[in-house]
Structure 1
Amino acid sequence: MNEERIEDAARLIASRKRAMAWLEKFGPQLDGRQDGQPVFSLRPMKIGGGQDGAVEAMELLAAYARFELPQIVKSALSCCRNDIDIARAQIRVEVGRGET
């Protein structure tokens, strides 16, 4: 039984549960239409972030992403559920191996 793998899986479960709780509470509000107020922001990436056009590219990506937020929230919730299922399966496998 790999206790470190169990602990990692348990931490992932806890993290994803917190993320799910936040997304379920606030995600529906992220509809991209918050009275002209920024809903979220994108920072220039490490690769090319200092290059000419990076700020403009991030502004453009943010504008497009704003309208995709409802789908992004759904995808993030699905990812959380999937990660939790995988982590639980990992724990079951490790516990099934027993003490060595």
Structure 2
Amino acid sequence: MDEYQSIMTKKLGLSKYNKQLISKLLNNLAVDKVDYTNFFRLLSNVKADRDIPETELLVPIKAALLDIGKERKEAWISWVQTYIEEVCLFVYIKLFSFPNCPDSNI
């Protein structure tokens, strides 16, 4: 993994580099002219919970996604759903690799 891939993987809190997820994110950020700093700050509020209703998925990052239309909203919902799946996988791996891990916030 090169330095850029490592940085993006860590920035997103992933266990491994996911080219497709990161490419879609960067495309969404560019198309909607989203401020990167604000977006990544808000992204930390997204919960690794597969049961969040679709209507609530964008709430934590809403302030970064100013005036997006229905089509772009669907693109972001799709990305957040995929992101949550990746984060949940990381949490699952961490919990089963380190079952006595005292970190209850993972």
Interval containing the TM-score (normalised by the shorter chain): 0.3 to 0.5
Pick 1 or 2: higher relative contact order, CA cutoff 8 A, min separation 6: 1
Q: TM-score, normalised by structure 1?
A: 0.38
Higher Rg of the two aligned structures? 1
